[in-house]
Amino acid sequence: MKIKQLSIFLQNKMGSLAKPLEVLTVADVNIRAMCMADTSEFGILRLVVDDPMKGKEALEENNFLVKITDIIGIEMNDTPGGLTSVLDVIRDNLIDLEYLYAFSHKKEDKAILLLHADDIDKLIDVLSKNNIPLVSAEEVYNL
Amino acid sequence: MFWNEEIETMPRQDLEELQLKKLQATVKRAFEKIPYYNKKYSEIGVYPEDIETLKDIEKLPFITKDDLRESYPFGLFAVDIKEIKELHSSSGTTGKPVVSGYTEKDLDTWAETIARGLTMMGIGEDDILQNTHGYGMFTGGFGVHYGSHKVGAAIIPISTGQTRRQIEIMKDFGATGLIFTPSYGIHLAEVALEDGIDPKELGIRAIGFGAEGWTEEIRQRVEELFGCKAYNIYGLTELMGPGVGVECCAQKGLHIAEDIYYPEIINPDTQKVIGGDTPGELVLTNLEREGMPVIRFRTKDLTKLTYEKCECGRTHARMSRITGRSDDMIKVKGVAVFPSQIEKALLKVGDAEPHYMIIVTRPGTLDEIEIKVEVSQEIFFDGVKDMMHVQTKIAKSIENETGIRVKVTLVEPKTLPRFEGKAKRVIDKRNLH
């Protein structure tokens, strides 16, 4: 259920994103989704890849600082208002989301939303109760 | 112009005889009155009577700042507290500070060294001296103050800060002499210029510099800004305070008051005494101190000595400008900072000691310090808020430890340079050496 996301510490300077991506290319690890949280001085690169452990090892061998973070993915309608309806449920249940990012699914009219909150189990619980379909980790890795 | 012509121009041979007599008396007193020296010297089997020539001083062990710290607060005093008239303490913030105690006579000796220095700078009873050194536990303020009383100048004990008021007083009181740290002096001049006051018009005749590193370029800049000569003053709280060495009108090195301080230069690695003209670490001995005689103190300051008679007529040895430190101490905004303090502060934040680098710059006239810290697993979190918190926590911890505010930059692992052997933790871009 939980997706293993790679969080990588990077300095905010020209070219700093290229290096870890190159490492993953060489290691033949494919990126499924990514998002970047940045400040003026540093950033955290968040990646969902097809093989998280292999990706982590390759990056660490190249001196990158990597943490595995659990996130979850849900399937939502790729139509106007699709995201809002999901967020309404989360807000109504008083869950503070840390961050989220989304990408469109191969399935027609579907998108995948990736979410992280401090209390991830509560988030899973709330979403299940509201019949919002969670996407399995395998499905995201193998998109 | 001399304050004490007989002593200051004494032929070397006579001076050395005087030094030997004073050294013998100092070692004897220290051995008899201070348990620290008694124990140290007895352990290696050296006794006061073994000092038969000046060179015999090399038989005695060194004393370091750590030794002084371990004797906190009054462990190295040779007299009863009732004889002590004043207490000072070093600005260093590593562990316990170093305490310095002065008897009535010590205060007079201290004033004598400053009086000689002020006279070298041409400051006398006709002058009004504005002293921007801090008055307090720091020896800079009071040392200059007592010396100024001795030469009969009118001292303005304005202390540090309040730059605009400093300028106003300077102008209204007609100050003719200034005492400041070079960076503060440049700052003063720049603020004056901003306010439409040309420091050159103020009628300043001499400036005494102290308490931080500087270069010949900085001196030239100060001299240009104020339109007068600027002289270097050297000293340490451990030995007394400012006045150990002061520059004369020739500006070719600082005359050490050799009848009061005995200087040696050692190789900091082998700890062997090396000849005068080779640069090394300065070691100083109090020859004339009642309250707290310090014998063979390792200053960690790198310099060299010349015993050639100076064109000003003085025979006392001259030390060159301090060109660095044999340890990693840096002076930032006049405060001594050791890499060990930064390490301690970092350890308090994460469990493991991260790799770090200290970068000191002076973008304008004031110092800035940046600590680059390699992020490790212990202090890496997935959230930006968490990482900002880590940054703030490190900065706060360092401020608690050193007393100065720093900029903390988090960098990727293994991106800071690695060194074989002794790590180089400090990059000083101020070009002071």
CA distances (Å), origin B220, targets B182, B185, B214, B217, B380? 11, 12, 10, 5, 47
B162-216 per-position pLDDT tens digit: 999 999 999 999 999 999 988 788 889 989 999 999 999 999 999 998 766 677 7
Residues of B in contact with A116 (CB under 8 A): 382
Radius of gyration of chain B (CA): 23
Cis peptide before B413 (omega within 30 of 0): no
Contacts of B262 (CB under 8 A, 6+ apart): B19, B23, B54, B57, B284, B285, B287
Residues composing chain A:
143
Q: Is a pLDDT exceeding 60 seen at residue A2?
A: yes
- Nearest-angstrom CA–CA distance, A133 and A130: 9
Closest partner residue to A67 among B382, B384, B415, by Cβ?
Answer: B382
Helical packing angle, B139-151 and B104-120, nearest 10°: 70
Whole-number percent of chain B with pLDDT over 90: 69
| pLDDT above 80: residue B333 | no
Distance CA B195, CA B222 (A): 18
> Predicted confidence band at B416 (pLDDT cuts at 50, 70, 90)?
confident
The count of CB pairs under 8 A between chains A and B is: 49
- B221 Cβ contact list (under 8 Å, min separation 6): B186
Q: Is the pLDDT of residue B420 over 70?
A: no
CB-nearest to A65 from B375, B384, B388 is B375
Integer-rounded Cα radius of gyration of chain A: 16
Chain centroid offset of residue B201 CA: 31
pLDDT level of residue B316 (50, 70, 90 thresholds): very high
Q: Residue B126 — left, alpha, or beta (φ > 0 → left; ψ -120 to 50 → alpha)?
A: alpha
Q: What is the ipTM of this complex?
A: 0.89
Cross-chain CB nearest to A42 (options B382, B383, B410)? B410
As a dihedral over the C-alpha atoms of residue B133, residue B136, residue B343, residue B267, rounded to 10 degrees, the angle is: 60
Chain A positions touching B380 (Cβ under 8 A) are 7, 9, 65, 67
Strand partners, B175: none
CB of A67 within 8 Å of any CB in chain B? yes
Distance from CA of A63 to the nearest CA of B (A): 6
State pLDDT tens for residues A95-127. Answer: 999 999 998 877 778 899 999 998 999 999 999
